[in-house]
Amino acid sequence: MATLAETTMQFAQLEHPAPTNWETRDRILADPGFGTNFSDHMVSIDWTEGVGWHDATIGPRQPIALDPACAVLHYAQEIFEGLKAYAQADGGIALFRPEANAARFNNSARRLAMPELPEDVFVESVRQLVRADRDWIPTAEGSSLYLRPFMFASEVFLGVRPAKSYKYLVIASPAGYYFKSGAPAVSIWVSRYSRAAPGGTGAAKCGGNYAASLVPQAEAIEHGHDQVVFLDAVENKWVEELGGMNLYFVFDDGTLLTPSLTGTILPGITRASLLSLARDEGLSVREERYSLDQWREDARSGRLVECFACGTAAVVTPVGTVAGDDGEFTIGSGGPGQLTSKLKDRLVAIQRGTAPDPHGWVMQLG
């Protein structure tokens, strides 16, 4: 089990004057949706040049006033994370690899010229919020409390340079299934737009990447598909990832492939966890580049039998069909494949505490 060294930062506890009544909360938890309902509390920590991190508080979730010249509103100096608190089979609560989110948050911070947050403070901030909002964790299958730590440039300044003050916040949102259609597999659209270029911010979890992916995503929907997949920006040939999920390919000889982390792909924690779980099963997993042409050819020849996307929000989602300007192809049966389902079940069982945790990924909060 993961452990946490005592953090040095003290969190001031602000009483909530009027928490949501339990009838309303239970109604929300019965059908939480994704990203539209929020818990009662939030964490806030400020950073100021020359002072460092200060004024850590856990208190009521409420609007924040921003000056119109607040730097983030102009140059998008912002990063975020996404992780979940899971109700455990034994009635407890657990986080999944929160130190990995903390480390990635700091990688993103470095790329966006922002201050790093000590990893123990990141993890403690998430624990504080889950503790305050423990009654907001839905328990139904596939549901969890989605946690969103984020940081933005809060300095009132219009010049182009790293800001001298930042705000770090954590909010929480009870979450059900990410794809509300409940479809057995998603269909994806190959975009002609690029998500990330070499030397850019593709490996950082920053809002700007998502802003740039909205037009391609809307185009996918317009063409009748669920999600967009991006190719590399240089040759427009190599499959990278979806707007917010990494990809895996499963072949008829039982091997797996996931695109290698070239600097333009976001290093997903779900991706990394599945890599370990697949290798635990004795499967061979290659981290290599894979072209759209090969993808199409392998799907048509039957060499490719399954394909899935993975990420914290949607966990593991089978990819059924792929379409683009040069036509459409279906993978396997077009529905969830055997290995996809098996790996998903293995991961979810560890997250839920119904299977052993050989890698020490689960942090129990009691």
Ligand X SMILES: *Cc1c(COP(=O)(O)O)cnc(C)c1O
Which residues contact ligand X by CB under 6 A? Answer: 82, 205, 241, 244-246, 266, 268-271, 311-312
Nearer to ligand X, 58 or 79 (CB): 79
Nearer to ligand X, 259 or 268 (CB): 268
Identify the three-state secondary structure at position 300: helix
Name the minimum Å distance from CB 268 to ligand X. Answer: 3
Nearer to ligand X, 244 or 332 (CB): 244
Nearer to ligand X, 314 or 323 (CB): 314
Name the minimum Å distance from CB 226 to ligand X. Answer: 15
Nearer to ligand X, 135 or 357 (CB): 357
CA distance 159 to 71: 8
Q: Judge contact between 225 and 189, C-beta under 8 A.
A: yes
Q: Please report, as a single letter, which amino acid is at residue 114.
A: M
Angle 119-132/98-111 helices, nearest 10 degrees? 120
CA distance 251 to 249: 7
Q: Pull the structure tokens for residue 85.
A: 């608190």
Q: Pull the structure tokens for residue 25.
A: 């909360």
Angle value at C-alpha 259, between 257 and 262, nearest 5 degrees: 150
User: Which of 242, 240, 235, 131 is CA-nearest to residue 179?
Assistant: 242
Name the minimum Å distance from CB 263 to ligand X. Answer: 13
CA distance 203 to 264: 5
Name the minimum Å distance from CB 158 to ligand X. Answer: 28
Name the minimum Å distance from CB 312 to ligand X. Answer: 3
